[in-house]
Amino acid sequence: MRILPVLFCALALPLAACGSDSTPTTDMDTGATIVAGGGTGRLTLGVNSYLWHATLDTLAFMPLASADPFGGVVITDWYVAPNAPDERLKVTIYILDRALRADGLKVVVFRQTRSGAVWSDAQPSPDTAHKLEDAILTRARELRLASLNQGT
């Protein structure tokens, strides 16, 4: 029975921040549209929207297994490159912050190699995760600059 008060507080807490102004504004750090007031606004991402969209753009060549915009986790399915049929990669991206910062992103790469019909775990190249992270951050900066230029 202790769980009910905790659930009630968790559900009621976001309502406590509601105000009376329903004018949409844009959070410059996150790029998310924020609507205060009577609850008729748009849903916003729980993470930095530039990092979120840049992650999806960067990983567009890989099949997605899961994408949670509120928790900031993107998980791909196994990807086999056409030029390396005996190797496959899987990527998990964690967006850790609402600000557009380099330390607000964590990239984890999993690699497997095939011997016959059996896939076995292998160590990914150490710079694969760094290259993906750099590509995502570069794309996020491009998206942010594009949105700032549209506002002028």
- Domain assignments of the chain as residue spans, ordered by start: 3-35, 49-150
Whether domain 49-150 has CATH 3.30.530: the reply is: yes
Provide the token pair at 8. 């009630």
Alpha helices in 17-103 (DSSP H): 49-58
Provide the token pair at 102. 């380099």
Q: What is residue 138's predicted lDDT score, i.e. its pLDDT? A: 97
Q: What is residue 46's predicted lDDT score, i.e. its pLDDT? A: 78
Neighbouring CB atoms inside 10 A of 48's CB total 27
First and final CA of the chain: distance in angstroms?
54
Q: What is the pLDDT along the chain (152 residues), one digit of tens a residue?
A: 444 343 334 434 343 444 434 344 444 454 444 333 344 445 566 789 999 999 999 999 999 999 999 999 999 999 999 999 999 999 999 999 899 999 999 999 999 999 999 999 999 998 999 999 999 999 999 999 999 988 76
Which residues pair with residue 34 across a beta bridge? 25
Provide the token pair at 57. 């753009």
C-beta separation of 95 from 70 below 8 A: no
Which residues pair with residue 11 across a beta bridge? none
Length of the chain: 152
> Under DSSP, is residue 4 helix (H, G, I), strand (E, B) or coil?
helix
pTM of the model: 0.70
Q: What is residue 152's predicted lDDT score, i.e. its pLDDT? A: 63
Q: What is residue 42's predicted lDDT score, i.e. its pLDDT? A: 52
Residue 141 Cα to chain centre, angstroms: 15
